[in-house]
């Protein structure tokens, strides 16, 4: 089946036209439910069983669309929200899909509303076949801010199977990536003891202790070929 570029552009244009900014600053945050409902209609028309999963926040929801039944299966996962935008820095309307120099511009066109019309194109040749394992499409909320959509999905365990594989539709310049960077945040608190220059041995320097800790962390980072960002905060213990 040939790629239907007209249909792809039309569907992407409709998605871009629906604002779905997610942000920790309330005045910039927006619902994503209109995007989810539109996707549910499209996947439902294609034969998927669709489930809209409301979140605690008003106007926020996930979509779970399933084709086929059984154990295992493949998950195609993406998010339905976008980052905030500064209209003054855009050369075109962020909510209108614009084609220029054979590229499509619009808020969220690549990251990552464009993934869902691609899925609909890719499954077309297989819609009349009986799947031995399910194909599950996830569209989550608030990936760009609180991850509330993914958190709710993990907490409620609404999937009826444990998928064997997953493809995340984040843009990677069409280069498949098997692993992704992670993040871990820890804190170390060092408490010193005040002293006097007349007898320094009675004091304990918190800075000296923290310097030793930072050196150990840097050595560890070199040994495991990872990056560690260290931020030192001064904390004055109340007397």
216-231 tens-digit pLDDT: 988 988 888 777 777 7
Domain boundary among 168, 195, 220: 168
Is there a contact between 112 and 169 (Cβ–Cβ < 8 Å)?
A: yes
**How many domains does the structure of the chain reveal?**
2
- Which pLDDT score, from 0 to 100, does residue 173 have? 87
Long-range Cβ contact pairs of 176-179 (< 8 A, separation 24 or more): none
List the CATH number of the domain containing 157.
3.40.630.10
Domain boundary among 109, 141, 168: 168
Residue 110, token pair as written in the block: 């690549």
Residue located via tokens 């991850």: 147
Over residues 192-216, mean pLDDT: 87
My answer on whether 95 and 192 are in the same domain is no
**115 lies in which domain range?**
5-168
- Which pLDDT score, from 0 to 100, does residue 94 have? 97
29-43 tens-digit pLDDT: 999 999 999 999 999
Q: Which of 29, 111, 142, 143 is catalytic?
A: 143
My answer on whether 209 and 100 are in the same domain is no
My answer on whether 73 and 117 are in the same domain is yes
The yes-or-no verdict on residue 238 having pLDDT over 70 is no
Q: What is the pTM of this model?
A: 0.79
Tell me, yes or no, if 212 is annotated catalytic. Answer: no
The yes-or-no verdict on residue 12 having pLDDT over 60 is yes
The yes-or-no verdict on residue 239 having pLDDT over 60 is no
98-121 tens-digit pLDDT: 999 999 999 999 999 999 999 999
Tell me, yes or no, if 216 is annotated catalytic. Answer: no
Q: Are strands 103-105 and 98-100 parallel, antiparallel or unpaired?
A: antiparallel
My answer on whether 64 and 24 are in the same domain is yes
Q: Is 175 contained in some domain?
A: no
Distance CA 101, CA 95 (A): 19
Q: Is 51 contained in some domain?
A: yes
Question: What is the band of 236 on the pLDDT scale with cuts at 50, 70, 90?
Answer: low
Q: Which residue has the higher pLDDT, 182 or 141?
A: 141
Distance CA 102, CA 69 (A): 39
Q: Which of 29, 81, 111, 144 is catalytic?
A: 81
Q: Which of 8-12, 83-87, 128-132 has the lowest mean pLDDT?
A: 128-132
167-198 tens-digit pLDDT: 999 998 888 888 777 777 888 888 888 888 88
């Amino acid at each position: 089946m040939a790629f239907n570029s007209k249909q792809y552009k039309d569907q992407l244009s409709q998605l871009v036209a629906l604002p779905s900014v997610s942000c920790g600053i309330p005045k910039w945050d927006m619902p994503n439910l209109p995007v989810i409902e539109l996707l549910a209609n499209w996947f439902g028309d294609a034969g998927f069983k669709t489930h809209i999963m409301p979140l605690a926040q008003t106007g926020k929801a996930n979509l779970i669309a399933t084709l086929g039944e059984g154990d295992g299966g493949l998950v195609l996962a993406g998010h339905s929200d976008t980052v905030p935008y500064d209209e003054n820095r855009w050369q075109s309307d962020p909510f209108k899909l614009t084609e220029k120099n054979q590229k499509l511009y619009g808020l969220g066109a690549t990251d990552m509303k464009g993934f869902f019309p691609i899925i609909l194109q890719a499954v077309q040749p297989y819609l009349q076949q009986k799947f031995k394992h399910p194909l599950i499409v996830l569209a989550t909320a608030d990936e760009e801010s609180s991850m509330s959509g993914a958190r709710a999905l993990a907490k409620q365990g609404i999937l009826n199977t444990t998928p064997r594989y997953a493809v995340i539709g984040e843009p990677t310049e069409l280069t498949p990536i098997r692993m992704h960077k992670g993040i871990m945040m820890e804190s170390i608190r060092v408490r010193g003891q005040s002293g006097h220059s007349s007898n320094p041995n009675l004091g304990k320097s918190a800075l000296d202790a923290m310097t030793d800790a930072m050196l150990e962390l840097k050595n560890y980072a070199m040994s495991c070929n990872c990056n560690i960002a260290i931020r030192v905060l001064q904390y004055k213990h109340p007397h």
